[in-house]
Amino acid sequence: MSDDRATVLGAVRNALGRPPGSEGHPADGAAGQRLQRRPIGPQPQIGDDRIGAFTQQLETAAATWARASAPMEAVQAVQEYLRRAGHDTMIAADHPALRHLPWPATLQPHFGAPADSGACGLTLAELGIAETGSLVLCASPTTPTLHNFLPDTLICLLPTDAVFAHLEDAWQWLRRQYASLPRAVNLVTGPSRTADVEQRLQLGAHGPRQLHAVLVDNGLHTRP
Amino acid sequence: MKSTAHAFEHNVHVALHDERLQRALGRVSGGFIDKRRQAVRALPEFEALRRTARDIKDHTLAHLGDYLERFEARVIASGGQVHWASSAGEARRIVIELCRAADARRVTKGKTMVGEEIAINEALAAAGFEPVETDLGEYIIQLAEEPPSHIIAPAIHKTRADIAELFRRHHHHEQELASARAIVDEARRVMRQRFLSADVGITGANFLIADTGSVVLVTNEGNGDLTATVPRTHIVLAGIEKVVPTLEDASVLLRLLARSATGQAFTSYTTLFTGPRQPQDRDGPSAFHVVLVDNGRSAMLGSEYRDMLRCIRCGACLNHCPIYGAVGGHAYGWVYPGPMGSVLSPLILGLKEAGDLPNASTLCGRCETVCPVSIPLPGLLRKLRARQHAEGLAPRRSRWALALWAFAARRPRLYGPLMGLGVRLLARLAGHRGRLRRLPSAGAWTDSRDLPAPAGETFQAAWRRERGHE
């Protein structure tokens, strides 16, 4: 498709007083240097208790959370939450780490595509960010993006040691793990919300109405 | 949308006499202003972040061509495509062609201000597509066939009753939607079907990352993610000024954006989209397009208005503007209201169309104080006023009045006695109260308040008297 590439870039360079082609390869200039150095700006103080800061931010964002020391406890935490939320079924992302949890016979999640219903969803976050209380969810064959948005209630497991302090820590981790970024990296911070009706906050606009995070200290492996 | 910025005076008159609007505007300060203040107070690094944000944007703008090319290369490397549009018309043409190529019927949309700027909904509808706004506020004003009145809360001028009535009419039922909860639930139910049946999803972008070719999209509802994930094709509309070098740079801006906009530390959903779905992915679009829109921005870049391109569209300047607070967003007559709009609209539409807007400011400076990227908005408004005057575009009455004043002011022997006369006259009219209730030809001013009267003596006269005592 033909477009205005030359026109727009020409106008931009002209506005900057640089005729097209006059500055050599971008990688050699100031832009190239910044892209290589990736300077980090001011960061909010988190303090020593990173997990405490994370869970506090989760609460600020109207999410709930539980902490489990091992997979068995994680399953119990999920069971307990479902009971309280009044759900009896659960659609889980088809990820080995979730399949291999010691599910009791009375609570066998359905592993598969996220359904558009009032169901409860279960998925896995790769990281947590203490600064914001965000769960970092990456699109993958075993963790499709729609799992994060279609369920009425979303339960999200994550390894406790995957909670980082700041946004920049998460970017650095993503660069190390992925040669090219996943199609979607969702930073989910609390349930979906809107204040478009008279400025009054309502949870559950188009995404989940409730978000429950379960931090698992040992034995949850998000990556093979 | 078609601009009515030229009819600003009329628009203001209508707005000031609209009781429902005035009630709705009353909610702005309690909501946005207080929440922002609390959020800023809770973050000691806020001012340092503001300075860094300004520097990041200034640096990026100074090397904009390089960063845009890097962004383009990264998008292509991740399997996406980049399209360049010099004008609104060109951007519309590109989007329509992409929708045709996708064999689309239903097009869902996340909130995009540049989409409003290029009037994409009208163009899509005219080309036979069905555009569906998915942000609740945008959906409400789409049903009402109105433009947004606020850049982050498009339906802020609507009451709950207005919205319930719109839903009853358009969703064909007689139910009472008695609460905000009921309204949100109905929107959720209706919109779900549309999300799942869309062929193309169009979103805006909060930031473009040159380093990775990613598009950063921020929403609270989750509508942007559903719009970008369900359909076969995802089209991103973004102004060329949206690019930043790295994710680290975007982090600085993200720390400021939500706090300045809604007072949240972070919005519910912040997503990086990079390219189309990957081979083994279970969902996501198979085609990913980014349309980079110039539409006057490169001209701003080369002008004394470059600072305006730092804007990250948080809306803080609207929320803190006494003029916006009095007349609301529609009075400004186009897409961008408030102080940022009063700079942008004349630069995009021309001073002939939008020349009243830079004058719709008391230059009180609150906008600049709260701007997360320190745009000198009052200074830019003043420059636009000067240009309007220099180009002979100011209203005749104000040009003559200024010319008359300038004529006198350059002739001290005329000016002194004239002022002395005026001051004495006004003081006499005011009597012992020291205020004027009415003033001929200034009724609009004195209708709602008294004019404090001069003290009966000019400064020069007082100066001469004081010196005489020494």
- pLDDT tens track for B257-281: 999 999 999 999 999 999 999 999 9
* pLDDT over threshold 70, residue A19: no
Selection from B153, B108, B288 nearest residue B214 by Cα: B288
Mean pLDDT of B152-167: 93
Interface mutation vs chain B, best among A181, A188, A203, most B CBs within 10 Å:
A181
Task: Give the max Cα distance, chain B.
Answer: 92
- pLDDT class for A27, splitting at 50, 70, 90? low
Mean pLDDT of B378-388: 97
CATH architecture of the domain B43-298 equals 3-Layer(aba) Sandwich (3.40)
The C-alpha atoms of residue B189 and residue B79 are separated, in whole angstroms, by: 34
Mean pLDDT of A44-61: 96
CA distance B103 to chain A (A): 16
Neighboring chain B residues of A30 at a CB cutoff of 8 Å? 59, 62-63
Amino acid B461: pLDDT: 84
Question: pLDDT digits over B95-134, tens only?
Answer: 999 999 999 999 999 999 999 999 999 999 999 999 999 9
Amino acid B434: pLDDT: 81
Q: What is the pTM of this model?
A: 0.94
Mean pLDDT of A176-187: 96
Task: Identify the residue with better confidence: B36 or A116.
Answer: B36
* pLDDT over threshold 60, residue A9: yes
The C-alpha atoms of residue B66 and residue B290 are separated, in whole angstroms, by: 17
Amino acid A194: pLDDT: 95
Amino acid A1: pLDDT: 54
Q: Would the CB atoms of B66 and A14 count as touching at under 8 Å? A: no
Interface mutation vs chain A, best among B266, B274, B277, B280, most A CBs within 10 Å:
B266
Q: Would the CB atoms of B252 and A190 count as touching at under 8 Å? A: no
**Domain spans of chain A?**
5-37, 50-216
Selection from B306, B325, B328 nearest residue B147 by Cα: B328
CA distance A179 to chain B (A): 11
Lowest mean pLDDT among B194-198, B206-210, B424-428: B424-428
Choosing among 3.30.70.580, 3.40.50.9100, 3.40.50.10420, 3.40.50.2300, the CATH entry for A50-216 is: 3.40.50.10420
The C-alpha atoms of residue B220 and residue B184 are separated, in whole angstroms, by: 13
Neighboring chain B residues of A139 at a CB cutoff of 8 Å? 277-278, 281, 283-284
Neighboring chain B residues of A43 at a CB cutoff of 8 Å? 45
Question: In chain B, where does the domain assigned CATH 3.40.50.10420 lie?
Answer: 43-298
User: Which DSSP string corresponds to B388-434?
Assistant: HHHTT-S-HHHHHHHHHHHHHHT-HHHHHHHHHHHHHHHHHHHGGGT
Mean pLDDT of A20-41: 79
A72/B contact by beta carbon, under 8 A: no
| CB–CB contacts below 8 A, A to B | 282
B41/A contact by beta carbon, under 8 A: no
The C-alpha atoms of residue A156 and residue A92 are separated, in whole angstroms, by: 10
Amino acid A2: pLDDT: 62
* pLDDT over threshold 90, residue B1: no
Neighboring chain A residues of B188 at a CB cutoff of 8 Å? 204-206
For every residue of chain A, which 3-state class applies, written as one string? CCCCHHHHHHHHHHHCCCCCCCCCCHHHCHHHHHHHHCCCCCCCCCCCCHHHHHHHHHHHCCCEEEEECCHHHHHHHHHHHHHHHCCCCCEECCCHHHHCCCCCCCCCCEECCCCCCCCEEEEECCEEECCCCEEEEECCCCCCHHHHCCCCEEEEEEEHHHEECCHHHHHHHHHHHCCCCCCEEEEECCCCEECCCCCCCEECCCCCCEEEEEEECCCCCCCC
Q: Would the CB atoms of B31 and A8 count as touching at under 8 Å? A: no
B220/A contact by beta carbon, under 8 A: yes
* pLDDT over threshold 90, residue A193: yes
* pLDDT over threshold 60, residue B343: yes
The per-residue pLDDT of chain B, averaged, comes to: 94
Q: Would the CB atoms of A139 and B180 count as touching at under 8 Å? A: no
Amino acid at A24: G
What CA–CA distances, in Å, run from B100 to B123, B127, B387? 13, 9, 43
Chain B residues 243-302 within an 8 A CB cutoff of chain A: 245-249, 251-252, 254-255, 262, 265-278, 280-284, 292, 294, 298-299, 301-302
The C-alpha atoms of residue B285 and residue B18 are separated, in whole angstroms, by: 44
Amino acid at B283: D
Cα A139 to chain centroid, rounded: 9
Question: Per mean pLDDT, which of A26-40, A195-209, B16-30 is the most reliable?
Answer: A195-209
Amino acid A83: pLDDT: 93
Question: pLDDT digits over B43-74, tens only?
Answer: 999 999 999 999 999 999 999 999 999 999 99
Mean pLDDT of A173-187: 96
CA distance B438 to chain A (A): 38
Place of tokens 């020291």: B434
Amino acid A200: pLDDT: 87
Question: pLDDT digits over B3-29, tens only?
Answer: 999 999 999 999 999 998 898 888 776
The H or E element spanning position B196 is helix B180-196
Nearest-CB residue to B52 (from A42, A44, A184): A42
Helix (H, G, I), strand (E, B) or coil at B334: coil
Nearest-CB residue to A146 (from B77, B97, B283): B283
Q: Would the CB atoms of A183 and B275 count as touching at under 8 Å? A: yes
ipTM for the predicted complex comes to: 0.96
A31/B contact by beta carbon, under 8 A: yes
Q: Would the CB atoms of A35 and B245 count as touching at under 8 Å? A: yes
Q: Would the CB atoms of B221 and A193 count as touching at under 8 Å? A: yes
